[in-house]
Structure 1
Amino acid sequence: MVGRFPPDVERALQRAGWRLGRRVETARWRAELVGLDMHPAAEAFLAEFGELVVDVDGPGRTAARVPFELNPSLCVGEEDRFLAWGDETGRSLYPLGELDQGRYFLGMDDRGVILLVETWVAAFGPGDQGLIALCEGTMPTRLQAGG
């Protein structure tokens, strides 16, 4: 890997509208998601990658590659889920969007780790590493309480 992302991941992100230096406004998500504080890690990530719809599919490294959408508005009404899992894991969680066309939610903890959030929580990895895992079809690692 010469650049920031492997070539296939960079192409998928670029097809979704990402480019180096991209910035989107995050204030609307702060207003929509009642009771959740957008921590600095989520704000920085969403400012660069928010509003992307990444259309990947097919076999992956350790899981199927499935599309995901980085739009916290898709998580409105699920604030209690993110608060509860934040309490359970000892991390502050903020919604990022949806995975697999709404089958799962995506979030980010205050450490910058991208998470699958459902009736359980699993980590894809921090920031760019987590995006690579999502694009390449890498199974997330399930978190335990306090983890």
Structure 2
Amino acid sequence: MTLFTKETEEVLRASGWSPGRQIDTGPWREALERNGFQWNAVADRFLMEFGGLVVDISGPGITSAREPFELDPMLADGEDDRFAEWADVIGESIAPVGELDSGRYFLGMSESGDLYLVADWLASFGKIPDALESLILGKSPVPVDAE
């Protein structure tokens, strides 16, 4: 049994993923915590399986364009204040997990497992596996009300 649709699984496999994949996230966690980021166990588990993937997609999607993304939390280094501000809004930490659209947006994961688009605004792709489906198939994230 797979967690993903056939198309999403094919894209992930072409990007280097396989079921049960495990990588060491320790160096990322240590570097980012030193630089002011909050880390959480959910982001750590996610990155153990999907960290390091570069998903090179483009074209029309279901409700938005399909955009490339890279799951490397170091790409958000220097943005700890942005992540902390949005964490205050939602009431839980958001750890960086990568970037979307060649650095136009950052990706972060909350303690409760929501995958967020992090920018001057915040939007949720939902929880894994649905969040990866949304990213790969081109489904718009749901904006978070900042008030």
TM-score, reference length from structure 2: 0.95
Q: What is the identity, as a one-letter code, of the residue corresponding to 2:31?
A: E
Alpha-carbon RMSD across the aligned residues, in angstroms, is 1.1
Tell me which residue corresponds to 1:9.
8
SS at the partner of 2:146?
coil
Alignment map for 1:36-51 (pairs within 5 Å): 36-51=37-52
Tell me which residue corresponds to 1:67.
68
Equivalent-residue separation in structure 2 for 1:57 and 1:108 (angstroms): 23
SS at the partner of 2:145?
coil
Q: Displacement of 1:145 after TM fit?
A: 2.9
Segments of 5+ residues of structure 1 without an aligned counterpart are: none
Q: Displacement of 1:100 after TM fit?
A: 0.3
Equivalent-residue separation in structure 1 for 2:62 and 2:49 (angstroms): 25
SS at the partner of 2:23?
coil
Q: Is the 8 A contact 1:63 1:137 kept in 2?
A: yes
Q: Does 1:29 align with 2:10?
A: no
Equivalent-residue separation in structure 1 for 2:39 and 2:48 (angstroms): 12
Tell me which residue corresponds to 2:53.
52
Q: Displacement of 1:37 after TM fit?
A: 2.8
Equivalent-residue separation in structure 1 for 2:55 and 2:126 (angstroms): 17
Equivalent-residue separation in structure 2 for 1:36 and 1:79 (angstroms): 5
Tell me which residue corresponds to 1:111.
112
Q: Displacement of 1:91 after TM fit?
A: 2.1
Q: What is the identity, as a one-letter code, of the residue corresponding to 2:40?
A: H
Q: Does 1:98 align with 2:99?
A: yes
Equivalent-residue separation in structure 2 for 1:50 and 1:29 (angstroms): 10
Equivalent-residue separation in structure 2 for 1:11 and 1:56 (angstroms): 12
Segments of 5+ residues of structure 2 without an aligned counterpart are: none
Q: Is the 8 A contact 1:89 1:144 kept in 2?
A: no
Equivalent-residue separation in structure 2 for 1:144 and 1:109 (angstroms): 16
SS at the partner of 1:77?
coil
TM-score, reference length from structure 1: 0.95
Equivalent-residue separation in structure 2 for 1:31 and 1:111 (angstroms): 21
Equivalent-residue separation in structure 1 for 2:126 and 2:143 (angstroms): 11
Q: Displacement of 1:32 after TM fit?
A: 1.7
Equivalent-residue separation in structure 1 for 2:59 and 2:92 (angstroms): 32
Q: Displacement of 1:36 after TM fit?
A: 2.1
